Amino acid sequence: SAVISQKPSRDICQRGTSLTIQCQVDSQVTMMFWYRQQPGQSLTLIATANQGSEATYESGFVIDKFPISRPNLTFSTLTVSNMSPEDSSIYLCSVGASGRVSSTDTQYFGPGTRLTVL
C-alpha cells in the first residue's frame, strides 16, 4: 500500500482564519479523497480530487469553504476556510491501493490532521 503523510498532524486555530492541510503520497495516484470526521462521529467524504481537473464535492460541501488543489499525482491540499468551532474535526486524505482507483480499489488513509477551532 502507498505511504501517505499529512501536515500538520494537529493544529489549534482561531475562528475566522483558514488552514491548509497537505497530503503527500509516496507513489503516483490518480485520485485522492478528503474526509472529515467530526468528534465522536463517523467519516464523511468531502470531495474527490482528480489530478488536472476540478475536485468533485459531496452534498453539503462547497468549494468556497473547502478549496482543494491537486497540482500533481503525489500531492493534494485541502483548505478549511473562514473556520468556526463546528469545523473542529479530524481531516483525512486517502488514496486507492492501485493508484488508479476504481470502485474495486481499497482506500488507504493518511494519519489525519486533528483540527481544533477556538
Question: Which of 53, 47, 92, 46 shows the shortest CA–CA distance to 70?
Answer: 53
Residue count, binding to another protein (CB under 8 A): 27
List the one residue from 25, 78, 92, 115 that touches another protein (CB under 8 A): 92
Euclidean distance between CA atoms 27 and 57, whole angstroms: 24
Minimum distance of another protein from residue 108's CB (angstroms) = 6
Cα–Cα distance for residue pair 61/96, rounded to 1 Å? 22
User: 76: closest CA among 105, 60, 52?
Assistant: 52
Residue 34: closest CA among 116, 117, 115 = 115
Site string for another protein, 7-46 (x = CB under 8 A): ------------------------x-x-------xxxxx-
Of 14 and 42, which CB lies nearer to another protein in the complex structure? 42
| Interaction site with another protein (CB under 8 A) | 1, 31, 33, 41-45, 48, 58, 90, 92, 94, 96, 101-112, 114
